[in-house]
Amino acid sequence: MRHTLPIAPQFYVTAPQPCPYLEGRMERKLFTALQGENASKLNDSLSQQGFRRSQNVLYRPSCAECSACLSARIDVSAFTASRSQRRTINRNADLDRQATSPWASEEQYELFRTYLDSRHAEGGMADMDVFEFAAMIEETPIRSRVVEYTDKDGGGLIGVSLTDVLSDGLSMVYSFYEPGHPKRSLGTYMILDHIKIAEEAGLPYVYLGYWVPGSQKMGYKSKFSGLEVYIGGSWQKMKDPSAFTADTHPLSTDPIAEQVANIHLPDTRPTR
């Protein structure tokens, strides 16, 4: 079904499908196309309203009876590394970081397949082939980077993050890494390194995607200080993760038309 604001873009809703985070739930997404000369402005504006990018689409969960998924970001100025996170930084001091244009490589895909087969063998990406992987990396109408982490001792590629550069921060669109080094905590390390990159660039936030109470897959995100979640139309500081619930309720989610009406779009009028 299509839902339209007084001006473009148009918004659509996906058909319900099994939720990848909470067993027995059905998920539904509100989405719009990301294209044209104003793509960056739209991406910036909707990212600040809890949307995420996947190739040339922006989406946000809009499940009928569940509002567990919360968009999460780290306030860089409020972040302080914990003792465990400082150890993670030290354990990965032997890694080099290189940010490149969003081009896919065979080495990236091999690492991606290793990661999926080990960590998400039954997930929605499990059947992704090399061409679909290339599309995920390369089909971006905005300023994106592939951040690669390699072993200084010649061990090859060990971690990758597809990262968007927003007006107010870095958005980690998708990350994957070598699963054979659990002591490195590479997923955590890449987030810590993006906090450092954002701080050096004067960008206030690092966007992490969705945090889901009750989902073990997403639990690590609540361990970062300075975390904020998008609730009821505004960003709020995460104080106590246990205070959030994944319970369902018929009134959990506003009607789609009401959601669309409350979306704020950027001013795309040409300046004189």
pLDDT per residue as tens, the chain (272 positions): 555 444 568 999 999 999 888 888 999 999 999 998 899 999 999 999 999 999 999 999 999 888 889 999 999 999 999 999 999 999 999 999 999 999 999 999 999 999 988 876 566 677 789 999 999 999 999 999 999 999 988 779 999 999 999 999 999 999 999 999 999 999 999 999 999 999 999 999 999 999 998 787 788 899 999 999 999 889 999 988 888 887 777 777 888 888 899 899 997 665 45
CA distance 150 to 268: 40
Q: Which of 60, 58, 89, 263 is nearest to 192 (CA)?
A: 89
CATH, range 73-243: 3.40.630.30
pLDDT of residue 123: 60
Q: Where in the chain is the domain with CATH 3.40.630.30?
A: 73-243
Q: What share of the chain is helix, strand, coil (3-state, %, to 5)?
A: 30, 30, 40
DSSP strand E in 201-268: where?
A: 205-211, 227-231, 234-237
pLDDT of residue 5: 46
- Dihedral sign (CA 197, 203, 209, 211): positive
Phi, psi of 67 (to 5 degrees): -130, 35
Structure tokens at 128: 């992704």
